[in-house]
């Protein structure tokens, strides 16, 4: 028996991806789908009057959809140098009564392209459920921390306050756009259907003796039997590879969102304000025992970068197709399509794990606010003094001097920000000494952030999640290899 550890295995399947997504691009799914497509074609051809197709043949095909002799198929492919014909022969051996009519009128792309479209549709359905679960988890987090003040950052420099929940809504908004993009990509998918070798349906027109109506009906019927509403109106030998571009661009865009979210959490982990889940016996570093590395977020970033690069691959393949088709797309797509979906799948699974267990440290957040808020509150101090009859320009100069003195202590001596103590010790500001604590209440600096969280979750998130209520209710905590 061959040693499984003696050859390369993709970590996407051996280490990371879910069983559902790995199965979606498995040989069992692919070749049983081919057989189902041959059954759908024969069924529709019989319904439309091809007498050479019998009920016994259809029953035989139906009974052998998953009875695949892979050794025979491999031997046939080595002999014939053609994967589709190898499986036509293998299916025919399992179904001798059906052998003469399997693949009748079809070209190879009838099974290869239509099976790919089924895999894209089913893969998007898996990803949509996963994404909805992540959105739901993050929305709950946002609502729980809707009013917790935190220091906002622009250019990663201290800025005005926001709230932890409001920041999470910035992440949520992009995830909702991704949900829309994946929905649109899935709903826009049509079926290649039965189009023949160059898309003209000439072989099927010959089968039905020039009856155009029957050929059109055949195309529509096979499409419906395969779970799609409509076939593409026109194709070459293949469906346009621009379809792959649309799908993978949506996945790559999700990758960009995931990378931004995970990067933000990594930055906040460095500030000790927020952390991803960390198990009791988890080791952060083999050398530095105290470390709590954000390895889940780092994994998201790593895989998200790979996912984004696949978008160019799809664009390049689409742009280099010649006329009705060329085969230099085949080997490329065998890698790119599964990798895009498997990568997106694990990115969402890890994001689910992260968002289910995000840890917030309010006291650390509060300490950082206390370090920066005195500077931010200077305008409030000036306005309060003016209300007590002070001169705005004179007050500005007083507080400018005190601010620079306090900043010097922070930067040059490493001391805490003592601007408020300096204001309290300055007789000039005596009229507002009693108000200073209220002027420095962080809640007065967060604007409508809590209300924005409530409104966003109610008006945007909840309606978007409504179609996925069953998946959300049935969610299981992902058991990841972490």
The string of pLDDT tens digits covering residues 265-276 is 999 999 999 999
Residues 412 and 115: their CA atoms lie apart, in Å, by 67
* Burial profile 92-107: b = 16 or more Cβ within 10 angstroms, e = fewer: bebbeebbebbbbbbb
CA distance linking residue 375 with residue 393, whole number of Å: 17
Q: Is the separation of the CB atoms in 53 and 45 below 8 Å?
A: yes
First-to-last alpha carbon distance for the chain, in angstroms, is: 30
Q: Are residue 392 and residue 245 in the same domain, yes or no?
A: no
Among 149-158, 287-296, 370-379, 455-464, which is the least confidently predicted range?
Answer: 287-296
Do 185 and 79 lie in a common domain? no
Question: Is the residue at 229 inside a domain?
Answer: no
For residue 289, pLDDT over 50 is answered with no
SS3 of residue 305 by DSSP: helix
Same domain, 261 and 287: yes
- pTM equals 0.89
Residue 248 has pLDDT above 70, yes or no: yes
Q: Tokens 């993009």, residue?
A: 181
d(CA 295, CA 292): 8
Number of compact structural domains in the chain? 3
Residue 5, in any domain of the structure: no
Identify whether residues 391 and 352 lie together within a single domain: no
Looking at the structure, do residues 189 and 338 belong to the same domain, yes or no? yes
Average pLDDT over residues 343-359: 95
Model confidence at 250: pLDDT above 70: yes
pLDDT of 478 reads 40
Q: Please tell me whether residues 97 and 114 are part of one structural domain.
A: no
Alpha-carbon distance of 238 to 109, in angstroms, equals 6
Whether residue 65 lies inside any domain: the answer is: yes
- Top pLDDT among 381 and 171 is at 171
- Buried b vs exposed e over 230-246: b needs ≥16 C-beta within 10 Å? ebbeebbbbbbbebbbb
Q: Does 274 share its domain with 343?
A: yes
Residue 372 lies in a domain: no
Does residue 285 have a pLDDT over 60? Answer: no
Instruction: Could you list the beta-strand ranges (E) of 239-302.
Output: 274-275
CATH number of the structural domain spanning residue 410: 1.10.40
Per-residue pLDDT at 479 exceeds 60: no
Burial level of 170, CB count in 10 A (0-12/13-18/19+)?
Answer: middle
- Per-residue pLDDT band for 17 (boundaries 50, 70, 90) equals confident
419 and 411 in contact (C-beta within 8 Å)?
Answer: no
Evaluate the CA torsion angle 397, 402, 404, 405 in order and state its sign: positive
Mapping DSSP to helix (H, G, I), strand (E, B) and coil, where does residue 158 land?
A: strand
Q: Which two tokens stand for residue 179?
A: 């949900």
Residue 228 lies in a domain: no
Same domain, 89 and 135: no
Out of 6-10, 96-100, 289-293, pick the least confident: 289-293
| Cα(17)–Cα(480) distance, integer angstroms | 9
Residue 212, pLDDT score? 97
Count, residues in the chain: 482
The pLDDT-based confidence of 2 (bands split at 50, 70, 90) is low
Same structural domain, 251 and 346: yes
Of 43-57, 311-325, 370-384, 449-463, the one with minimum mean pLDDT is 370-384
| 100 and 113 within one domain | no
440 band by pLDDT with thresholds 50, 70 and 90: confident
Q: Is residue 285 part of a domain?
A: yes
pLDDT tens-place string over residues 375-431: 878 888 888 889 888 889 999 998 889 888 888 888 888 888 888 888 888 888 888
**Residues 269/275, Cβ–Cβ less than 8 Å:** yes
Question: Which positions are catalytic?
Answer: 155, 285
Domain membership flag for residue 127: yes
On whether both 29 and 143 belong to a single domain, the answer is no
Provide mean pLDDT across the span 249-274: 97
pLDDT grade for 128, boundaries at 50, 70 and 90: very high
Is residue 50 assigned to a domain?
A: yes
**Element holding 339 (H helix, E strand):** helix 330-356
Sign of CA dihedral 23, 313, 257, 298: positive
Helices (H), 95-228: 108-144, 164-188, 202-207, 212-225
CATH number at residue 41: 1.10.275.10
Compute the average pLDDT of residues 274-291. 60
Query: Cα–Cα distance between 166 and 25 in angstroms, integer?
Result: 38
* Domain limits for position 435: 378-439
Q: Mean pLDDT check: name the lowest of 78-92, 366-380, 392-406.
A: 366-380
- Are residues 23 and 74 both part of a single domain? yes
Work out the mean pLDDT of the chain and round it to a whole number: 91
CATH classification of the domain holding 329: 1.20.200.10
Q: Which residues pair with 411 in a beta bridge?
A: none
């Amino acid at each position: 028996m061959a040693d499984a550890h003696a050859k390369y295995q993709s970590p996407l399947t051996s280490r990371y991806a879910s069983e559902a997504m790995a199965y979606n691009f498995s040989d069992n799914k692919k070749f049983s789908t081919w057989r189902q497509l041959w059954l759908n074609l024969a069924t529709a051809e019989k319904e439309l009057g091809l007498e050479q197709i019998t009920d016994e043949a259809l029953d035989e095909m139906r009974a052998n959809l998953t009875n695949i002799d892979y050794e025979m198929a491999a031997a046939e492919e080595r002999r014939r140098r053609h994967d589709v014909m190898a499986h036509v022969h293998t299916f025919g051996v399992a179904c001798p009564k059906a052998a003469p009519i399997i693949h009748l009128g079809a070209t190879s792309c009838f099974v290869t392209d239509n099976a790919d479209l089924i895999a894209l549709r089913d893969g998007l359905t898996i990803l949509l459920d996963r994404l909805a679960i992540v959105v739901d988890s993050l929305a709950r987090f946002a609502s729980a921390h809707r009013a917790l003040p935190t220091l906002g950052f622009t250019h990663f420099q201290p800025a005005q306050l926001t709230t932890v929940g409001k920041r999470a809504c910035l992440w949520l908004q992009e995830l909702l756009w991704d949900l829309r993009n994946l929905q649109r990509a899935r709903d826009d998918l049509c079926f290649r259907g039965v189009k023949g070798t160059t898309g003209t349906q000439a072989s099927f027109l010959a089968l039905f003796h020039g009856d155009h109506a029957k050929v059109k009906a055949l195309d529509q019927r096979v499409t419906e039997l395969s779970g799609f509403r409509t076939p593409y109106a026109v194709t070459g030998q293949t469906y346009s590879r621009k379809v792959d571009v649309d799908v993978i661009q949506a996945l790559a865009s999700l990758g960009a969102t995931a990378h931004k979210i995970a990067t933000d959490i990594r930055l906040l982990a460095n500030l000790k304000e927020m952390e991803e889940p960390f198990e009791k016996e988890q080791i952060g570093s083999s050398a530095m025992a105290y470390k709590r590395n954000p390895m889940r977020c780092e994994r998201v970033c790593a895989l998200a970068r790979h996912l984004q690069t696949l978008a160019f691959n799809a664009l390049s393949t689409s742009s280099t197709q010649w006329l009705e088709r060329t085969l230099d797309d085949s080997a490329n797509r065998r890698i790119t399509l599964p990798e895009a979906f498997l990568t997106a799948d694990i990115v969402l699974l890890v994001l689910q794990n992260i968002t289910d267990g995000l840890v917030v440290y309010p006291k650390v957040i509060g300490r950082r606010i206390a370090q920066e808020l005195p500077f931010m509150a200077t305008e409030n101090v000036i306005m309060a003094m003016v209300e007590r009859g002070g001169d705005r320009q004179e007050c500005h100069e007083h507080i400018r001097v005190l601010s620079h003195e306090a900043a010097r202590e922070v930067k040059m001596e490493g001391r805490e920000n003592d601007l408020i103590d300096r204001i309290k010790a300055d007789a000039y500001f005596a009229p507002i000494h009693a108000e200073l604590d209220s002027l420095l209440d962080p809640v007065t600096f967060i604007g409508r952030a809590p209300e924005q969280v409530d409104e966003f979750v109610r008006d945007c998130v909840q309606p978007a999640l409504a179609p996925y209520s069953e998946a959300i209710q049935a969610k299981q905590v992902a058991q990841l290899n972490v």
